[in-house]
Amino acid sequence: MNFGNARRVVVTGVGAVTPIGTAADGLWSGLASRRSAVRVVTRFDPAPFRSRIAAEIPDFRPQDHLDAKRMRRLDRFSQLAVSCARLALADAELRLEGENRDRFGAMMGSALGGVAFAEAQVPKYLAEGPRGLDASLALAVFPGAASCNIAIEFGLTGPNATNAMSCASGTIAVGEAFHVVRDGRADVMLAGGAEAPLAPLTFAAFSNIRAMSTRNDDPATASRPFDAERDGFVMGEGAAVLVLEERARAVARGAPIYAEVIGHAYTNDAYHMTAPRPDGRQAARAMRLALEDAAATPAEVGYVNAHGSSTPLNDSTETLAIKQVFGDHAYRLAVSGTKGYYGHALGASGAIEAAICALALRRGWLPPTLNLQRPDPACDLDCLPGDGRPAAPDVVVSNSFGFGGVNATLVLRRA
């Protein structure tokens, strides 16, 4: 790799609230448990739907991260975003007092933003009219509330944006924040994704298009990336935020360093709103462009954290795309899809998986693909069934593919 004169960007903090654990240590412990968090939905009555399972966060207490006034003003989606940002800053041992906050920013991703909160307001409107609505509705429903509330909470006046590019949103947020720091537009960025989609209307919409698993009698095995019997994704909720920091600055303050972010790119299939392009060429192109951005060769990559949504078309198409990029080296790669643990948190998934990659690089263990019992012949790579694998790859790739044909890739390097 030749990094030239570009500023280098490292991950110095990880904050997460997920169905398998909270904070960096909780997320890692959840992965080490090798157990799925998918259960029958309890947030609402799932009986009317084809799919009745999801990955819910069992123990999120916003009061642990927000004062009472702020907690009341934020819906669950924004609560998750701000809470993860606080956890990430603490993990990075980063105190903001005395910092030039014009050089600190936030970038987030979310497919749906505060849609679930808006859905909950509809009965109030029907019963009481406009006066029945929560006054915060207009400020809670748009996805940009994620990065804006983080900025307000911590006084960050640098670059700020939230994208809503479906299931690739979190990966795009982290990648664009990486470019902001690398290009010198900021020194520190809080970047990630947040999603709180578990509400009847949203759930029904995805269920009706037959995108979700109907393995209702055995929820823990429903999300099964690359398995021949996969039948759809499992909806989840969650959030993750990474602290991305200019490397020299991080080293100077003695910050903990998980990994280095070295490349990012995204493309579009321009093919279909839900189905991936069958030849996988634009997914492959996203990976190639990200590797070019990283000044890395395919042969340097040792692990791919796959999008691995557990849908019939996605997993086989992603396998095809990986083969196009890596050639014979594809069969020497470790590949795992980690959504079997925590479901598919839509726009937050890429951020959660970027956090997993950073943790894996620091701790030297690659998590398995849960529930991979009978590999699909079309998904014939080393997809890490069983217990995972101790490993210390130099370079890892994290993929996220979303509705609308969005393909996004991050490249990280061992610190």
Q: What is the token pair recorded at 25? A: 């240590």
Q: How far apart are CA 72 and CA 62, in angstroms?
A: 10
Residue 231 CA to chain centroid, in angstroms? 21
Q: How far apart are CA 36 and CA 54, in angstroms?
A: 11
Closest to 76 (Cα-Cα) out of 235, 190, 240, 195: 195
Q: How far apart are CA 236 and CA 98, in angstroms?
A: 38
Give the SS3 label for residue 267: strand
Is the CB of residue 353 less than 8 Å from the CB of residue 388? no
Q: Where are the alpha helices (DSSP H) in 209-298?
A: 247-252, 281-294
Q: Could you give the residue numbers annotated as active site?
A: 167, 307, 344
Q: At what angle do helices 281-294 and 312-326 cross, to 10 degrees?
A: 50
Count CB atoms within 10 A of the CB of residue 197.
27
Phi/psi of residue 348, nearest 5 degrees: -90, -15
Residues contacting 70, CB < 8 A, separation 6+: 82, 153
Q: How far apart are CA 316 and CA 270, in angstroms?
A: 19
Ramachandran region of residue 371, left (φ > 0), alpha (ψ -120 to 50) or beta?
Answer: left
Counting Cα atoms < 13 Å in the Cβ hemisphere of 166 gives 15
Closest to 238 (Cα-Cα) out of 42, 80, 358: 80
Q: What share of the chain is helix, strand, coil (3-state, %, to 5)?
A: 40, 20, 40
Amino acid identity for residue 202 in this structure = T
Return the bridge partners of 22, or none.
17
